[in-house]
Amino acid sequence: MIKVIPDEELERFIKNTGWVPGQGIPETVNSSVYNPVQQKWFSIDDLVTNGKPFYSDKRDSKGNRIGVAVALEQALDYIGSDGVVASMPFLIAGKSQADASNYLWKDWFTALSEEDVGIDKRGKFVKAGNPVVVTVHGGGILTPDRIMQAYNEGLSGQNAAKLRDEEFDNLLNGILPSGESIELYDIDDVKKASIPNPFGRYGVVMDFETAKSKPSGYHSKTDFMNNELVIARAGTLEYLDNYFEKAKRSEGKVGNWHRLNEIDYHQAQGRVLFLNINYNGLSGYINLNYDGRFVGVAPEAPRAKK
């Protein structure tokens, strides 16, 4: 697996955690998300206790839904450079530890996670010319401005953002449109807990055909826990079991939804992920032109690590 490692972030990570490459991941890393600008950690407790949802059902002058872009912009404005917006792995972990009365179990949420599909032209992860799915956590291509641009340019047939070839090509090199670098992992890295900060910013790459082959719908626990698409979306297995037990319906199933069997991967495209209110589970099915509800955690959270 090719990993693209931003040296400056790795150095900061080692300095703040004491982690030694090749050794086990520190417990604080597995249960916190790091803000590299302010060098602050935000724990799952911070998300559960102090997370603030930002919801928008706004429409533009033509009546088109733009809530995802608006809600994300509101959440990012709230956290500034000091806080974090919750990704899918962070939301799953929060729900795994929150009780039924907590806000995390009372609504659906949009995650700061996106699923981007396109062709691996140079064969970095699969045979050259074949498609891949990149699940990006913690912020990727789809910023509020980029989502608004996608609205204005027209979405794909499955209501996802049409990505430019260079955007997707650069993503496979671990480079975002902002110029920032992210590390890229595979499914085995998630299974082996090799991702130093599963609540941070990174991508998980998997073969498109493997992802496409996974049924879109409700899954038994065994199928859910071993589903590669679920694993990529969860970022870590540590909280998935407890989340499933709390989310499952009476038949003992939780949903995982996608539209990968519908899309034309020759047009690179991306959509944000949603975490449903209950047993409906994880969703990469919802249109990008929909309402949005992101969760921000600000630095005034009392348990923020110094």
The pTM for the full model equals: 0.87
Residue 153 lies in a domain: yes
146-180 pLDDT, tens per residue? 999 999 999 999 999 999 999 999 999 999 999 99
Residue 305 lies in a domain: no
Residue 47 lies in a domain: yes
Query: How far is the C-alpha of 140 from the C-alpha of 273, rounded, in Å?
Result: 12
* pLDDT in the model for residue 2: 39
* pLDDT in the model for residue 20: 52
Residue 268 lies in a domain: yes
Residue 225 structural domain: 7-14+30-297
* pLDDT in the model for residue 73: 98
* pLDDT in the model for residue 34: 52
Residue 302 lies in a domain: no
Query: How far is the C-alpha of 181 from the C-alpha of 176, rounded, in Å?
Result: 6
Residue 82 lies in a domain: yes
Residue 304 lies in a domain: no
Q: What is the CA radius of gyration of the chain?
A: 18
- Cα-Cα-Cα-Cα torsion 4, 7, 9, 10, nearest 10 degrees, comes to 90
Handedness of CA 222, 105, 187, 217 (dihedral sign): positive
Give how many domains the chain has, as a whole number: 1
Q: Which of 217, 224, 207 is nearest to 284 (CA)?
A: 217
Axis crossing angle, helix 67-79 with helix 144-153, rounded to the nearest 10? 170
Who's near 177: CB < 8 A, 6+ residues apart?
141, 143, 146, 167, 170
* pLDDT in the model for residue 248: 97
Long-range contacts of 175-178 (CB under 8 A, 24+ apart): 175/4, 176/139, 176/140, 176/141, 177/141, 177/143, 177/146, 178/143
Residue 216 lies in a domain: yes
pLDDT beneath 70: ranges in the chain: 1-40, 300-306
